[in-house]
Structure 1
């Protein structure tokens, strides 16, 4: 068996919020470590302690301080990253989030998480859509290997991108069961305090950035319908940043104008990672009404936390949820009817929680990393 190729893993794209991208990078590094594959990891100094704690077997290299600026990071990615690869005698540069060095003799493997920039351009801002469509085309044209987060994403790239690569590896994301697990009652009470809820008060949870494709206006409208007919409907708690969805922001502004005790919606903002499992698993129901996902990590994390999940049968989500979650069309009436049905059926929610927990165990970072290891080996063998 030939030795594993020397890979330079670019982890400088971890955002300050340490959201889904950070969990992907951390999980993949941990999975590679578990599989016995050692890589060089370049990352911002502030991110290295957490990465090293999760995956201590790798070699960590401190990136220049100026990569904390997104614009400057892109410049460094094109110049400093290839130079670092040459100094390290790397055979492969791995870029985990679309962008990568355009001009280098080093082989390149790139992850594409989402292709809705093509299939649903209206769900993204014009600038964001143009940016990611451009980088997907460039990755298709220049990368030596592409890896997609789901079969749906791979299929969409091959459908929309001219002269698409005929082989795109599919590596499902994983979930860390030590981070996302059914919470203790103490953890649930801690989340209640963070949300400003009373000791036994229930909530419906959503986790994600509130951008147009997350379909938050429909969720808010569905929740308002339920509250109008039954004031005892649990409050809706949203964790994540506001995005560029004007309709959602207007509804949230109207909610914020009410006295705190009268608000049907709680904007929790970014919750610390150690609270997310209790936020999801302690809820009555997690609702993820997305119009389309490249993977749908919050669905998997909710399942791993033992939460019953209601989502939509769009793109990759059924690949993640399977038969363990409930589905509804993404319009407000359909969501309202499905939420009401589940809130009124505790045994079904309990069974969904157990089924989701069982299914989530199939999505491991070690399995994800094994796909990447094979992709690296395939590229390295062509060097």
Structure 2
């Protein structure tokens, strides 16, 4: 790609202290853009103030501690935010002078050449869209050639080509499984499909859903799939899972992700307890909406062993909260199997991460998950507790099956390497840049 090309991504999820699957996507996307030879900009919603000498400090403070509340009482903040809807959104450049001791924070961000931020940009955009039905327009000096929004947000940057990633349509496919405001979500997605310069998605399943639901032309939506790096894992520290969690390598099953309805954790627990296997089940993830319902089968009041990250909450079930990524990768790599029986996924990163690390996988036969797993996992109907129980029993007792799945998973993961992701992403960007002159976009040298 031409070295004069500048592509921006948003920091909507990158700014979250504990990250999300979309934060992982954003980081991988940013790394891929720089490896393509383009220059990378970042757009954030962090309050950095009007004083240039403080912006870098305030930016990294928010990354490390979370975006602070505005000053004053809650009622005063609400009034200030209400009036703020009517002010023009002002974007500030964050000087990158290298004066901050970044430590682990640096690993959460791609290598940005330029960072721009406006206080609570994404919250303001949501309110603006709810009030007007239009996307919040933002203007920056010297805009990038492409603005790639990593999540469906109601914002449009002026003077550039706006690309939006629609990971899935879960709020519309499983409306009973999310708290999204469905009318607002539908209107926003419909507007993206109608007005975006291009739409990006992460699986053929999601691409088909968007086409079927909104009728977008096939040449305006591209599936780039995803990639993820598990290089942080440390092969020489296998004993960590025993020292930190009291677990034996290859001696536990693992689920990780949010505990919410679409993840199907309730049926997973029911199937696991019904299997009566002696191998412990480790659940890693924060409780979200209806988590108590999903965890109802666990005897949460039972006494059990404790460690720094959580405790044993049933005879053979260990629940852990958020873990630093390096520790999570250790748990994945040393598990007997990763179980991910989600009802619906745009991609399903846990399946790919487990396969990359040579860990057998049990997953769902729905949505995008068969695309990711191929023939390298035990596939089950996520609504069939009996089928999930049988899969757990098979993986627990059949070492030959586990070895075959581990080997097949490592091979299947090669379909989603960083090189292949870069190639798909680069082809999409080339298509967008080639169309830009016809829509009046400014172009990098060599594209006129």
Q: Is this a same-fold pair by TM over 0.5?
A: yes
2:402 aligned residue (337, 345, 349)? 349
Instruction: Give the match's secondary structure for 1:186.
Output: coil
Checking the alignment, whether the CA contact within 8 Å between 1:5 and 1:380 is kept in structure 2 is no
The residue number in structure 1 matching 2:139 is 83
2:351 aligned residue (299, 304, 317)? 299
The residue number in structure 2 matching 1:239 is 284
Normalised by the size of structure 1, how large is the TM-score? Answer: 0.86
CA RMSD of aligned residues (A): 2.9
| 1:267 Cα offset (Å) | 1.4
Equivalent-residue separation in structure 2 for 1:76 and 1:63 (angstroms): 18
The residue number in structure 1 matching 2:259 is 210
Instruction: Give the match's secondary structure for 1:173.
Output: coil
Checking the alignment, whether the CA contact within 8 Å between 2:285 and 2:322 is kept in structure 1 is yes
CA change 1:137–1:203 in 2 (3 A) is same
| 1:8 Cα offset (Å) | 2.5
Higher Cα Rg, which structure:
2
The residue number in structure 2 matching 1:358 is 411
2:189 aligned with 1:136, yes or no? yes
Superposed, which structure 2 residues align to 1:253-332 within 5 Å?
A: 254-261=298-305, 263-330=315-382, 331-332=384-385
1:186 aligned residue (212, 216, 237)? 237
Report which stretch shifted further, 268-277 or 2-11: 2-11
| 1:191 Cα offset (Å) | 2.7
2:223 aligned with 1:170, yes or no? yes
The residue number in structure 1 matching 2:33 is 32
CA change 1:19–1:352 in 2 (3 A) is same
Checking the alignment, whether the CA contact within 8 Å between 2:230 and 2:329 is kept in structure 1 is no
Instruction: Give the match's secondary structure for 2:39.
Output: coil
| 1:76 Cα offset (Å) | 9.8
Instruction: Give the match's secondary structure for 2:318.
Output: strand
| 1:63 Cα offset (Å) | 2.2
| 1:138 Cα offset (Å) | 1.6
Checking the alignment, whether the CA contact within 8 Å between 2:254 and 2:338 is kept in structure 1 is yes
The residue number in structure 1 matching 2:90 is none
For structure 1, list consecutive stretches of 5 or more residues without a partner in the other structure.
Answer: none
| 1:311 Cα offset (Å) | 0.4
CA change 1:57–1:290 in 2 (3 A) is closer
Report which stretch shifted further, 16-25 or 202-211: 16-25
Equivalent-residue separation in structure 1 for 2:149 and 2:341 (angstroms): 30
Equivalent-residue separation in structure 2 for 1:114 and 1:155 (angstroms): 10
Equivalent-residue separation in structure 2 for 1:122 and 1:377 (angstroms): 39
CA change 1:184–1:73 in 2 (3 A) is farther
2:156 aligned with 1:111, yes or no? no
CA change 1:134–1:184 in 2 (3 A) is same
Deviations 1:249-303 (A, max 9, x none): 4426x43211115543211111110012211121111100111111001110111
Checking the alignment, whether the CA contact within 8 Å between 1:33 and 1:55 is kept in structure 2 is no
Deviations 1:163-211 (A, max 9, x none): 32332100111021413x5x53634x3234433x255782110011111
Equivalent-residue separation in structure 1 for 2:39 and 2:7 (angstroms): 8
Determine which structure has greater relative contact order: mean sequence separation of CA pairs < 8 Å that are 6+ residues apart, divided by chain length.
1
| 1:57 Cα offset (Å) | 5.6
Deviations 1:291-334 (A, max 9, x none): 11110011101111111000011110111111111111212111
2:205 aligned residue (133, 146, 152)? 152
For structure 2, list consecutive stretches of 5 or more residues without a partner in the other structure.
Answer: 47-58, 64-95, 97-101, 130-134, 306-313, 442-448
Checking the alignment, whether the CA contact within 8 Å between 2:338 and 2:359 is kept in structure 1 is yes
| 1:108 Cα offset (Å) | 0.6
Report which stretch shifted further, 236-245 or 294-303: 236-245
Equivalent-residue separation in structure 2 for 1:38 and 1:198 (angstroms): 44
Checking the alignment, whether the CA contact within 8 Å between 2:13 and 2:26 is kept in structure 1 is no
Checking the alignment, whether the CA contact within 8 Å between 1:109 and 1:145 is kept in structure 2 is yes
Superposed, which structure 2 residues align to 1:9-20 within 5 Å?
A: 9-14=9-14, 15-20=16-21
| 1:7 Cα offset (Å) | 2.5
Checking the alignment, whether the CA contact within 8 Å between 1:82 and 1:106 is kept in structure 2 is no
CA change 1:355–1:8 in 2 (3 A) is same
Report which stretch shifted further, 341-350 or 43-52: 43-52
Instruction: Give the match's secondary structure for 2:299.
Output: helix
Checking the alignment, whether the CA contact within 8 Å between 1:308 and 1:352 is kept in structure 2 is yes
